Structure 1
Amino acid sequence: MHTTTAPRTPTRHGRLRPGLLFGASFALAVAACGGDGGGDTSGTAPPPDQAALRTACPALAGTKVEGRLLGLPSGDATLASAQLVAAGDATGLPEYCQVRGAIAARSAGADPIRFQINLPLSWNEKALMVGGGGFNGTLVTGLDPLRDAPAGQPLPLAQGYATFGTDSGHDAAAYLATDPAKFALNDEMFANFAHESYKKVKDVAHEVFRRFYQRAPRKQYFFGGSEGGRERLTMAQRYPQDFDGIVSVVPVIQWTGLFNGFLAFTQPQFHGGTLDTASIKLVADAVNGACDALDGIADGVVSDYLGCQARFDLQALRCPDGGDGATCLSDAQLATLKAAYEPVRMPFPLANGITTYPGRMFGGEIQPGGEGIGRWISTGQVPSVPTPAATDARGVIYGSSYARYVIARDPAFDVRGYDLLAYADRIRQVSEWMDSTNPDLSAFFKRGGKLIIRENTGDFAQSPAAGIQYYESVVARMGQSDADKFLRLYVSPASSHGGRAASRTTGQEVPTTHDTLDTLDRWADAGVAPADALVQVRRDTAAPHKVLASRPMCRYPAFPLYGGGDPLSADSYRCSSLGAR
C-alpha cells in the first residue's frame, strides 16, 4: 500500500489531568464516603499493589460520591456494588474490580443514571469511556469489543484500560421498541441523554479511580459510534478539558436534521412510495454498474464515493409514465429515495446556523446483516400511525418517536400532519441541546486533545456527508494547519452503519476493521500522528485470527484506488482523490 505519513509534528500542549479540578475537597469527600482519603497522588507515590487493590475493591460498595463534587448540578452517586472478577480465558478479561452504581435523579419522575466502572488490577493508568447507541437506555458495561475492532483484538480492559459506561439516565426496557424516545417527555431525562449524563458519569468515574488507584488517569479517552459518536463530539465541544483523545465513528452529528430527515422519507411512503426487496436491488445494481470501476477495479465495491455522487443519476431509473414497474421506479418511490439521498432543507436555521441535513451517499444500498435501505428507509410496507409497527423501517420508527415524544410531546400525534414551521421553536430548542455541530474546537485543541472521526459511505442510518460537512466546518473555522494538528477524518468506502461491507458481485465481505483505539493512543500519548492511510483488515474469526484481506482507509477526501496486484492486499492500492474517472 502506498501511504503518506502526515509530515506535520503535532504541537504537544500541556494537559489538565481529568478530575484535577476537585483538588483538596476530594479527600474530604472520600473520607465522608468511607474510602481512602489519599486523593490524587499521581507522580508522588507508587500505586497500590494488587493485594491492596483486592482489599480496596469490596470496600467501595455502599459508598457515595457527593453530587456537589460533579461538574454539573447532580444528585449523589451511590456505588451499589463492587466485586472482584477473576481473570477468565473464555472472556479474555483480566482480574478486575467491577463497580456498578447510579446517580440519583434531581426531579420527580426522572430515572437515575446507571453506570458501570471496571478497574483492572494491572492498570496502564489510562481510562476509556464507551458510548451508547440509538436512544440509549441500556447500560454500556465497557466489557464489549469496540466498534470496528479486528477479530481477536484484546478488549480494552485486557489491555489495561479502566473502562466505564452509562445508560444515559433512562431504562429502555420500560418502553416499547416502537416508542424508544418516550423518555424524552421528562426534561431531566432528555437533558441527561443530550449531554449531561456523560459529564456526570465521567466525573464519578474519576472520583472512583482516585479512590481505588490513589491517582487520576494519565490519559482519558472516549470511544463511540452512532449516538455514541455524537456523544464524543459533544464532549469535545461542551467539556473540552475532560478528554485527551476521542474516537467518533459514524456520529449522528446533526441529530435534529437527521430525525427530520427520517420524517421526510416517511411521508412519501403513505402515498405509494414504499420500496420492496426488488426495488432496492434495482437501485443497488444500478449504482454498482455506474460506479464500481471508478476506483480502478470492478470488484462490486464502490470506493470512489465522491465520484459516484457525481456520476449516478437516480432519475434514470424512473418508469416512463411515473407509474409502477418491475424494472423501474415510480414517482412515489423516487420521492422516498430522493428524500434519503438529497439534502433535507430546513425553513429556519438550527444550532450553529445549520440549514440543511446532507443526503446519503450512493453505494451500500444492500449490506451484510440486513443493513442498507431495507433496514433504515423502507421495508416495503406502509408505515403504521400513530405508533409504528415493529416491522417498519428503523428510520420510520425513529422519526415517529422523535415527532411524538421529542417535538409534539403527544403520543397520539399523527406524523402525517408533521409541520416544521408549526414546531419551529421546539425544533430549534432541541437542536441547541442535541446537535454536535459547533465548529469551534479551539479549547479542545489548546489542551492538547486529539480527535479521530470515521465515516462509512454505505451508511443509511445517517448521512456520512454530515461528518464530512462538520470536518470542513472545523477546518474553515480553525484553519487547515491547526486542524491537522489534532483532527483526522477517515472514510471507509461502502461500509454500513454497523461497519460491514460486501461485494455486490460476489457477496464476499471486504476489510473494514481497524484498531482505532491504538491509533488514537499513539497520537495522544506518544505524539505519533496517524498516517494518511490506515490499514483495514478482515481477519479469520477463529484463532489465530489470520489476516485474510486488507485495504486502506484513506484520510478524507481520498479513497483507495487500485493500481494492480493482489486485490486482497492493501499494498495494491494507493489513496487518491482523483480516481480512474
Structure 2
Amino acid sequence: MPKPLPTPPIPISAVLCLSLAAAAVLTACGGSSSSGPAVLPLVPAPATAPPAGAPLALACDESLKTAFKPDADTTVTVVKQFRKGDDLNLDGKASGTVAASDVCMVKLNVGPGHAGPADAPSTSPGIGIEVWLPSQASWNSRIRVLGGGGFVGDAGIGAKTQIGGANAAAIAAGEGSVSAVTDAGHASKAPLPSVDGSFAMNPDGTVNTTLWTDFASRGIHQMAVKAKALAAGFYQRDAKYAYWDGCSTGGRQGHMQAQVNPDDFDGILAGNSAINWTSFITAELYPQVVMQRDLGGTPLTADQLSLVSSSAVSACDSALTGQHDGFISDPAACKYDPAQDKTVLCTASGGTNATAACLSTAQAQAVNKIWYGQTRDGSAPAPASDIGYGATLASNQLWYGLTRGTALNSPGAPGFSLADSVAGVPMPFHIAAHQVALNLQDPTIATPDFINATGNGADKWKGLSYAQLANASDRGKALQTAFANINADNPDLARFRDRGAKLLTYHGLADQLIPSSGTANYYERAAKAMGGIDALQKFYRYVEIPAMGHCAGVGSVNGLAGTSPTANPPLPAQNQLFTALTDWVEKGIAPDSMVMQNADRSLARPLCTYPKKIAYLGGDVSKAESFACR
C-alpha cells in the first residue's frame, strides 16, 4: 500500500541530525516541523479580484516556465501538478509516498552559480529551490519554508527527476501553507551530501567565496523572495504571514535571516542553532584529537561511553526534586567527575570496576576534557571547580563541550558516535574534519570523502596537536569575510526588532552535536546589544529543553540500572513551538507559559524562557503545577 506523505520532523533535512528524526505518517489534518500540537490552519483569505492590468494567475503547468520570470537569474526548471493520491515522483518510478491533497511543485534555479570544471564540487549552476503550493481553496495565506542540515547540498532539490522536499510537500498538503526548501547553492554527489564541504574550496585550493555566500545567506534569502513571488502570482494575492522553520543548520539560517534579511519573515523558529559555525564545528573534532593525543589513538568503546554517561545521569538526576528523574534538568549543577568515581574506574586505576566497560584514570580524564570543551593546550580544570558550561567561555576555553549525560555514542552519520573507528582509529564527524580543512585551506586534513584537485582528504587530522587545532579555530574566525560571515553571530537585531518580527529559538540540553551553551552565549550578547534581557524578550525568546537531543527526541542516556528510571523526559509536542510562534506573531501572545509532556503523558513540566530555570515547589513531581520558572 502506498504510504502518505510523512509529517516532517523538525526540518533537519540532513546530516547534523541524520539519525535522530523519523518521519511519522501524515494524516489529512497534516503536520509539520518539530514541536507541538498540530497547527490549526488559518481560514483561507477570500480571493479578491486582481487589480486592472495585473498579470494572469500563474497556472501549474508548462506555461509557468515562461510566465514566472521575476529576474534574469531565475529559471523555472520543473512544474508538476500532483492530485490527491498521486505518487510523488518525477521519473515514473513509484516512491510509495502519495499526495495527501492537491499540490503544485515548482523547481527553480537562481544563478549565476559558480563556473568551473564539470566534475568539481565547487562548480554550480546556481541555487536550487523547490516550492510546494497547496490548491487555491486550501491555501491558508501563510508561507512556511524549511531550513537545511549540515552543509545542505541536497542533490534532489535542483534535480529534474527527483523530489527533494517531502517535508515541504507535507506542509503544503497537510496544513495548507506554501512551503519550500533549498540546496543553498550547491548539490553534492556524495552519498551523504550534507557532510560534504568540498564545494567551499576551488580547484586551486582557494576559498570559493561565491558558494560560501550562497550557502551562508543568499540561498535562503532567494528562497524567501521567490516563494513569496510564486505565491502572489499563483493565488493573485500576497501571503499574510511568512515563517522560517529550521533546526541545526536551519537554526543558523534562521538567525542569519534575522540579522541580514530581516524583512523576509514575520516569524522565525530556530532550533539547536549552528551559529558560531567555525568555532563549534572545529571543536567537534576536539574529542578525536583528545583520543589521539591522550589515549594513543585508541577510541573509547561504546560500553565505556555508555557507562560514564549513565553514571553522570544517576549522579545528577535527583538535583531538582530529590528523586531520580532519569534525566538531568540543569546541566550547570552537574559536576560529576568519573576520575573520582571508583565504580567506574578500573581496578588497575584504584577503582572497583572489573568489567570491560571500566575506565582508566587517563580515559576518565579524557572524558572530562571532552565534556569541558576545546582548550588551546588540551587542559581542563577539575570538574569541582569548573565544568565549562554556561553563557561565558573561560579564559582558556575555545568552545564548549557536550553536557554530562548526553549520549556520546549515538549511531548515525560517520563519526557521530565517539566510539566510531576505522581500523582502530577514532573516526571524526566528517563535517568537523571538512571544516578544519577549510579553515586551514588544506584538503588533506579532511576525511577521504573531501574531493579537490589539489588533493583529496587524507585523514591528516590525526596528526593535529592541540595547538594546531586551536590555530584552526582562530583561522576560522579570521576567514569570516571569505566565508561570508557563516557564523551568523552578529548580536545586532535592531532591524528585525524594528519591523515587528518575532524570533523563537530553542535548544536541547542533551544535544549530541551542538553544545547548548553556544546559544546561551549568543543570546546574552544579543541582550547586551539590544538593551537588556527584558527588551530582547519583547521580540526574541529562547527556551532550553532538558534532555532533548539534536533537534528532536531524547538525547541523554539512561541512568544506571537499579538507580534511575528509564529516561522519559517531557519534550515539545509536534508543532507546539511553531504554534507558540504563530500565536506570538498573529495574536500577540508571547510564549511564556508552555507546558511539555512526555511520551506516555505521565510527566509534565513547564518550559522555561531563558534565563529562568525550572524550580521545584513541592508536591507531585509528575505535575507541571509542582514547578515554576525562576
**TM-score, normalised by the number of residues in structure 2:** 0.70
Q: 1:483 aligns with which of 536, 549, 561?
A: 536
The answer as to 2:507 corresponding to 1:459 is no
Where in structure 2 are the equivalents of 1:11-50 lying within 5 Å?
45-46=48-49
- Match status 1:57 vs 2:80: no
Native 8 Å contact 1:181 1:406 kept in 2: no
Change (3 A) 1:255 1:55: closer
Amino acid at match of 2:174: A
Tell me the equivalent position of 2:318. Answer: 293
CA contact (8 A) 2:507 2:516 kept: yes
* Closer/same/farther in 2, CA of residues 358 and 229 from structure 1, 3 Å limit: same
Q: Is the 8 A contact 1:185 1:406 kept in 2?
A: no
Mapped contact 2:131–2:181 kept (Cα < 8 A): yes
SS, match of residue 318 in structure 2: helix
Query: Does residue 536 of the first structure (1) align with residue 596 of the second (2)?
Result: yes
Please, which runs of 5 or more residues in structure 2 have no aligned partner?
1-44, 87-96, 117-122, 158-163, 203-207, 378-391, 444-455
Distance 2:421 2:143 in 1: 45
Of the three residues 370, 382, 407, the one matched with 1:340 is 370
User: Equivalent residue of 2:537, what SS?
Assistant: helix
For residues 436 and 345 of structure 1, do their structure 2 counterparts lie closer, same or farther at Cα, with a shift above 3 Å needed? farther
Kindly report which structure 2 residues correspond to 1:275-354, keeping only aligned pairs within 5 A, or say none.
275-296=300-321, 297-308=323-334, 311-317=335-341, 326=355, 328-330=358-360, 332-334=362-364, 336-345=366-375
Counterpart contact for 2:506–2:545, Cα < 8 Å: yes
Secondary structure at 2:213 match in 1: helix
Q: Which residues of 2 match residues 124-523 of structure 1 at below 5 A?
A: 124-138=140-154, 139=156, 143-144=166-167, 155=171, 157-174=173-190, 180-186=196-202, 187=208, 188-270=210-292, 271-272=296-297, 274-296=299-321, 297-308=323-334, 311-317=335-341, 326=355, 328-330=358-360, 332-334=362-364, 336-345=366-375, 356-365=398-407, 370=411, 375-379=416-420, 395-405=428-438, 407-410=440-443, 411-412=456-457, 414-418=460-464, 419-420=468-469, 424-425=474-475, 427-430=477-480, 433-478=485-530, 479-501=532-554, 503-504=558-559, 505-507=564-566, 509-514=568-573, 515-523=576-584
Which region of structure 1 is more displaced relative to structure 2, 120-129 or 181-190? 181-190
Structure-2 change in CA distance of 1:287 and 1:320 (3 Å): same
Task: Kindly provide the amino acid, as one letter, of the partner of residue 82 in structure 1.
Answer: V
Given that 2:502 and 2:584 are in contact with CA atoms closer than 8 Å, whether structure 1 keeps it comes out as: yes
CA contact (8 A) 1:284 1:365 kept: yes
- 1:315 deviates by 3.7
**Cα shift at 1:510:** 3.2
Secondary structure class of the residue paired with 2:510: coil
* Distance (whole Å) between structure 1 residues aligned to residue 520 and residue 113 of structure 2: 38
3-state SS in 2 of match to 1:172: coil
Structure having the higher helix fraction is 1
* Structure 1 counterpart of 2:263, one-letter code: Q
Instruction: Give the aligned residue type for 2:310.
Output: D
Q: 1:125-158: per-residue Cα shift (whole Å, max 9, x none)?
A: 1101100112211256554289xxxxxxx84642
Deviations 1:284-343 (A, max 9, x none): 2221222111121312111123222xx323442466876997565335534543443224
Rate the CA distance shift 1:59–1:114 in 2: closer, same or farther, 3 A: same
The farther-off stretch of 112-121 and 495-504 is 495-504
Contact 1:322 1:331 in 2 (8 A): yes
Aligned residue type for 1:76: D
Deviation at 1:163?
A: 0.7
- Larger mean CA deviation between 76-85 and 320-329 belongs to 320-329
1:22 is aligned to: none
- Cα distance change, pair 107–54 in 1 and its aligned pair in 2 (3 A): closer
CA RMSD between the two structures: 3.7
Residue 557 of structure 1: aligned partner: 611
1:177, CA displacement in angstroms?
A: 6.6
Classify the secondary structure of the residue corresponding to 1:293: coil
SS in 1 for 2:489: coil
Q: 1:173 is paired with a residue of what secondary structure?
A: coil
The offset of 1:77, in angstroms, is 1.9
CA contact (8 A) 1:274 1:333 kept: no
Is residue 99 from structure 1 mapped to residue 159 from structure 2 by the alignment? no
| Separation in structure 1 between the aligned mates of residue 412 and residue 248 of structure 2, nearest angstrom | 14
SS at match of 2:133: strand
Which runs of no fewer than 5 residues in structure 1 stay unpaired? Answer: 1-41, 70-74, 147-153, 348-352, 385-391, 541-546
Letter in 2 for 1:415: W
Aligned residues: 496
On the 8 A contact 2:408/2:512 being kept in 1, the answer is no
Kindly indicate whether residue 131 of structure 2 is the aligned counterpart of residue 117 of structure 1.
yes
Is contact 2:595–2:606 with CA below 8 Å preserved after alignment? yes
Deviation, 1:214, is: 1.9
- Structure 2 CA distance for aligned equivalents of residues 463 and 382 of structure 1: 29
CA–CA distance in structure 1, aligned partners of residues 48 and 590 of structure 2: 31
Match of 1:543 in 2: none
Q: What percent of counterpart residues are identical? A: 25
2:462 and 2:411 mapped to 1: Cα distance? Answer: 27
1:374 CA displacement: 8.5
Deviations for 1:58-96, whole angstroms, at most 9, x for unmatched residues? 1554237657x4xxxxx6222222222223498673322
Q: Deviation at 1:561?
A: 4.4
| TM-superposed deviation, 1:124 | 1.5
Q: Counterparts of 1:269 and 1:117 in 2: how far apart (Å)? A: 45
Q: Which amino acid aligns with 1:513?
A: P
Q: CA 1:377–1:462 in structure 2 vs 1: closer, same or farther (change >3 Å)?
A: farther
| 1:84 aligned residue (75, 78, 81) | 81
CA–CA distance in 2 between the matches of 1:182 and 1:64?
36
For the residues of structure 2 that align with 1:316 and 1:60, how far apart are their CA atoms? 71
SS in 2 for 1:575: strand
CA distance in structure 1 between the partners assigned to 2:79 and 2:605 by the alignment: 43
Q: What secondary structure sits across from 2:542 in the alignment?
A: strand
Q: Deviations over 1:518-556 (max 9, x none)?
A: 11111011111112x42223457xxxxxx5654332222
Given that residues 257 and 344 in structure 1 are in contact (C-alpha distance below 8 angstroms), is that contact kept between their aligned partners in structure 2?
A: no
Q: Distance in 2 between matches of 1:560 and 1:372?
A: 33
Structure 1 distance, partners of 2:68, 2:442, is: 34
